[in-house]
C-alpha cells in the first residue's frame, strides 16, 4: 500500500496543531484583518510561536517590530514579555495601524504594545537621535527592499547579545543566481557583518518553505 507523500500543509498543520494552536483572540485577529481587507501576509501560527520562543529564550523585556500589519505577530511577541515589558511596532499605513490597535486592545495588550505610524527609516532615525533605550529583540517583517537599511538601524538599536530576526528570507528566488531581491541582499549583509553571528532557519508554511534569518549581536571590544 502506497502512503501519500506529506505536503507542506500537512507538516505545518502537525506543528501548528501540537505547538501553536491559535486561541480565540488570535483567530479573531486574523478574522479582523480579513474583514478589513488586509493582505494575509502575516506570520503563520508556527512562525508566531517561533518568534515567541526566541523572545522567551533571551528573556526579552523590550522588543522592536518593523512592520505591524494587523498586529498578529505583535500579539505572539508581546505574550513573551514579562510584566512591565514593552513592544514598539512601526507601521507606515495608518489604516493598518488602526486595525492593529483594535486587535491589540482586544488581546489586552494596549498598554504593552505601542504602534508608531510613519516611514520606518525616519522613525528609526528619530529613535536613535532621542537616545532610545536598547532593545533585546528586533523583528523585521516589512518591505523587502528596505531590509538592508532596516538592518543597519536594528544593529544600532539592539543591545549586545540581542537578537535581530528577519522574516521571509528563504524563498525560491534566493537560489536564483541572477536575482538581487531585498531579502537575498539582507542575508548576504548579515552573513558578512563583523558584529553579527547569523543563520537562516527554514520555516514550514502551508503554502511552502520560507525562512527566518536569526542574528545575534556580539559585543564589540
Residue 2's CB: how many other CB atoms inside 10 A?
4
Which of 8-17, 22-31, 184-193 is predicted with the least confidence, judged by mean pLDDT?
8-17
Q: What are the backbone dihedrals phi and psi of residue 193, each rounded to the nearest 5 degrees, phi first?
A: -75, 125
**pLDDT of 50:** 96
Q: What does the DSSP 8-state code read for residue 39? A: -
Averaged over 11-26, what is the pLDDT? Answer: 91
pLDDT, position 64: 98
Q: Is the pLDDT of residue 201 over 90?
A: yes
Q: φ, ψ for residue 148 (rounded to 5)?
A: -65, -40
Of the pLDDT bands very low, low, confident and very high (cuts 50, 70, 90), residue 209 is: confident
Arithmetic mean of pLDDT, 10-18? 89
pLDDT digits (tens, 9 = 90+) for 149-163: 999 999 999 999 999
- The pTM assigned to this predicted structure is 0.94
Q: What does the block give as the cell for 168?
A: 521571509
pLDDT at 168 over 80: yes
In terms of pLDDT, which residue wins out, 87 or 173?
87
pLDDT of residue 82: 97
> How high is the pLDDT of residue 2?
65
Does 140 or 15 have the greater pLDDT score? 140
pLDDT of residue 13: 87
Q: What angle do CA 56, 205, 3 make, to 5 degrees?
A: 120
Output DSSP code: residue 126.
H
Q: Across-strand partners of 87?
A: 63, 113
In this prediction, what percent of the chain has a pLDDT beyond 90?
81
- Give the start-to-end residue ranges of the domains of the chain: 8-217
- Give pLDDT, residue 11: 86
Radius of gyration for the chain, computed over Cα atoms and rounded to the nearest angstrom: 17
Distance CA 37, CA 40 (A): 9
**pLDDT digits 0-9 by tens, 73-118:** 999 999 999 999 999 999 999 999 999 999 999 999 999 999 999 9
* 47: pLDDT strictly greater than 70: yes
Specify the CATH number for 8-217; select among 1.10.10.60, 3.40.50.150, 3.30.413.10, 3.30.70.20.
Answer: 3.40.50.150
Amino acid at each position: 500500500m502506497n502512503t501519500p507523500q506529506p505536503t507542506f500543509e500537512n507538516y505545518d498543520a502537525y506543528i501548528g496543531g501540537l505547538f501553536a494552536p491559535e486561541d480565540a483572540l488570535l483567530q479573531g485577529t486574523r478574522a479582523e484583518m480579513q474583514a478589513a481587507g488586509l493582505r494575509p501576509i502575516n506570520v503563520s501560527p508556527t512562525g508566531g510561536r517561533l518568534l515567541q520562543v526566541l523572545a522567551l529564550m533571551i528573556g526579552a523585556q523590550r522588543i522592536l517590530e518593523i512592520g505591524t500589519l494587523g498586529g498578529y505577530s505583535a500579539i505572539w511577541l508581546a505574550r513573551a514579555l514579562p510584566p512591565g515589558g514593552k513592544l514598539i511596532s512601526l507601521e507606515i499605513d495608518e489604516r493598518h495601524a488602526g486595525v492593529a490597535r483594535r486587535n491589540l486592545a482586544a488581546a489586552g495588550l494596549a498598554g504593552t504594545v505601542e504602534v508608531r505610524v510613519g516611514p520606518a527609516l525616519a522613525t528609526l532615525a528619530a529613535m536613535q537621535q532621542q537616545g532610545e533605550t536598547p532593545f533585546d529583540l528586533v523583528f523585521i517583517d516589512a518591505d523587502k527592499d528596505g531590509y538592508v537599511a532596516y538592518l543597519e538601524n536594528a544593529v544600532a538599536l539592539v543591545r549586545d547579545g540581542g537578537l535581530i530576526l528577519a522574516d521571509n528570507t528563504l524563498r525560491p528566488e534566493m537560489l536564483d543566481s541572477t536575482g538581487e531581491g531585498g531579502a537575498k541582499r539582507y542575508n548576504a549583509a548579515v552573513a558578512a557583518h563583523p558584529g553579527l553571528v547569523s543563520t537562516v532557519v527554514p520555516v514550514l508554511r502551508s503554502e511552502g518553505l520560507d525562512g527566518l534569518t536569526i542574528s545575534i549581536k556580539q559585543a564589540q571590544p
